[in-house]
Amino acid sequence: MAQVKTVSGKKETWKERCARTAREVVKRRWLFFLLIPGIIFFAVFKYIPMYGLKIAFQDYNQYDPSKSQWVGFQQFMDLFSKNSFLPVLRNTIVISLLKLILGFPIPVILALMMNEMKNMAFKKVSQTLLYLPHFISWVILSGIIMTLLDPDNGMITNLIQTLTRQHIMVLTDSRYFVPMLIITDIYKGLGWGTIIYFAAISGIDPSLYEAAAIDGAGKWKQAINITLPCIVPTIIIQFILSSSNILNAGFDQIFMLYTSHVYDVADIIDTYVYRMGIINNDYSFSTAAGMFKSVVALIMILFVNQVAKRTGNEGLF
């Protein structure tokens, strides 16, 4: 029978290990009980639907699924041979990269800055105002954005017109639509990222700052030489997770805000899949496009995780 070593170095059989695990589960049963809703959620909405991925390799018959013909990788070949897909792929990569490059550092910088605030009342108010957008759905936030950018009466539109002497319609102009997406996405997400980095900062040993202060280090040097290095593992984990979204440009946001006027810069894989699958009823083709996106995300997260580990940092797994 296979044996494993315990923390003390004593060898135990798999049967003994299973028994020990069972005792731990019983001992902490209420903590494991809290996992049940999450397990059910992922089972119902993440794992069971994977059975439907098979239609990416079929010519799916929605009226009689039993008559669906197996076509192998034909749907994927059709996907990459369509002239309409390459601009969609380009738009997805461009928007995703801009969100990652411009949006990822901001919560880190903001957390470092707010950590140095002395006025606790102002700090708490600032945190609340920053966190609030994260808990507002894109449906509501998009309505607010469209009101502010209304071509006739929008407050931001009028401000832009006053400053530039030009009547700029951000929501229907391809030149300004993508920058608007990036800015609003950063605004909505920076609060949540700040929470994560605040939690990491709170775990730093205060004696490190005390020792640095005795040595004459100011707040800037403490932030750069103590705070930032201590939260690097959290930054790496967050970057690995963010890299998996390289083809996830934000369906909810774009679907609520875009129109046919900006298809050339805002049509992404998710909206493309929606049109092909839901509107055109081409379920096999849209499933193939969605599977391609998922495979790329898996490759990216594995690649970035390996790079992180090989450069001496802690990986996700």
pLDDT at 1: 44
Q: Is 62 within a domain?
A: no
- 267 and 203 within one domain: yes
Q: What is the DSSP letter of 226?
A: I
Which CATH number does the domain housing residue 241 bear? 1.10.3720.10
> Mean pLDDT across the chain, nearest whole number?
86
Tally of structural domains, the chain: 2
- 19 and 109 within one domain: no
- 194 and 81 within one domain: yes
Name the pLDDT band for 2 (thresholds 50, 70, 90).
very low
- What percentage of the chain has pLDDT greater than the value 90? 17
Using the CB atoms, write b or e for 133-167: b if 16+ within 10 Å: beeeebeebbeebeebbbeeebeebeebeeeeeee
pTM of the model: 0.81
- 257 and 109 within one domain: yes
- 134 and 244 within one domain: yes
- 131 and 262 within one domain: yes
- 90 and 23 within one domain: no
Q: Is 64 within a domain?
A: no
Name the pLDDT band for 6 (thresholds 50, 70, 90).
low
Statement: residue 140 has pLDDT above 90: yes
d(CA 155, CA 65): 52
- 255 and 169 within one domain: yes
pLDDT at 42: 92
Name the pLDDT band for 85 (thresholds 50, 70, 90).
confident
- Classify burial at 228, counting beta carbons within 10 Å of its beta carbon; exposed 0-12, middle 13-18, buried 19 or more: middle
Q: How many residues does the chain have?
A: 317
Longest dimension (CA), the chain: 81
Q: What is the pLDDT of residues 202-231, one digit of tens each?
A: 888 889 888 988 888 888 888 888 988 889
> What mean pLDDT do residues 49-66 have?
87
- 250 and 150 within one domain: yes
- 13 and 137 within one domain: no
Q: What is the pLDDT of residues 20-56, one digit of tens each?
A: 888 888 888 888 889 899 999 999 998 898 888 888 9
Q: What is the pLDDT of residues 156-166, one digit of tens each?
A: 888 888 888 88
* Residue ranges making up the domain that contains 10: 4-33
